[in-house]
Amino acid sequence: MQILYVKYISVHVYVGGDSRETGLISARQKRLEAGQSQVQIRRDFNLTPSVVCNLRKQFQDTGSIERKPGQGRPRATTATEDCYLSIIARRNRGATASQLSRDLYAATRTRVLRVTVSKRLHETGLFVRRPAVCVPLTSTNRRVRLA
């Protein structure tokens, strides 16, 4: 048995010299099966005690610690909308997240928060312009500044 690489907490195992993948083994599940203590698992994987406790309960109930598909909050935008956001952000570099949110709504009728737009662009390596918050100058201050 040869371990080729470790990705996150899952280990891909290949048996023999061939490239046939025999299965995906969860390191946490193997440790729970081996009867390792919760404290030791928590330290090895840098988890909180409640997470390890919940994993152990789930393992005792179901025999597995895999997540069910579809758990968690659904995303506000689709992959196509994320792609569209990155395109319009690249076309208009000076646009703020609020402007991009309005552009997305005009195109797709999907309401998205300003923060969501920022997060989606961060995922693709783009960053939105943040408008500067400043105190507007009074006419007196403007004259003094320009003089």
Q: Is 6 exposed, middle or buried (0-12, 13-18, 19+ CB in 10 A)?
A: exposed
Q: Residue 119 pLDDT > 90, yes or no?
A: yes
Per-residue pLDDT tens digits for 52-62:
888 888 888 88
- Read off the pLDDT of each residue in 68-78 and give the average, rounded to a whole number: 85
Q: Residue 140 pLDDT > 70, yes or no?
A: yes
pLDDT at position 20, please? 32
**What CA dihedral angle connects 81, 87, 93 and 94, to 10 degrees?**
-30
pLDDT at position 69, please? 77
Higher pLDDT, 136 or 6: 136
User: Model's pTM, two decimal places?
Assistant: 0.48
Q: Residue 4 pLDDT > 80, yes or no?
A: no
- Read off the pLDDT of each residue in 54-72 and give the average, rounded to a whole number: 81
Is residue 128 within 8 Å of residue 121, measured between CB atoms?
A: yes
